[in-house]
Each structure stands twice: as C-alpha cells, then as structure tokens.
Amino acid sequence: MKVVINTTPLVSLAAIDKLCLLDAKKIGKISQLKPFLDRLIGGGVYISENLYDKALSLASEK
C-alpha cells in the first residue's frame, strides 16, 4: 500500500497566513513580517523560498 501525503493544504495555509500577515503589516498591527514567517517555518509549515521571498518583497523587507 502506497501512502501519499498531500501538502497542498499546508501550502495554501502558508499563503493564507502570509496574506493576513501582510495585511497586518500594512495597517500597522505588526512592524515586521519576517519573524512571523520564520515562526511558521519553525513550527513545521512549509513555505517555499519563492513564497518567502515574495512575501518579504511585498512587505518591503527585502
């Protein structure tokens, strides 16, 4: 029996969190996005390097 793990929900979750965090930064609720993304990654959420870089770029942190 082959077990397949679908990581799509995790990628989607990371994208949703990224967008919410970007909104929080835009309205001044957080001052930096990077520590939150790093915490998500540290907690086991997969965020591709491309998504990570894009989020930081959109947040003017790169």
Q: What pLDDT digit, counting tens, does each position of 10-59 carry?
A: 454 455 555 578 888 888 888 998 998 898 888 888 888 988 998 899 89
Domain ranges of the chain: 8-58
- Angstrom distances, CA of residue 40 to CA of 4, 10, 13, 37, 56: 23, 11, 10, 5, 14
Contact 19, 25 (CB under 8 A): no
- CA quadruple 20, 47, 61, 30: dihedral positive or negative? positive
Q: Does the structure show a pLDDT above 90 at 61?
A: yes
Rounded-to-integer distance, Cα 53 and Cα 47, Å: 10
Q: Does the structure show a pLDDT above 50 at 1?
A: no
Q: Does the structure show a pLDDT above 50 at 60?
A: yes
What local confidence, expressed as pLDDT, does residue 17 receive?
Answer: 52
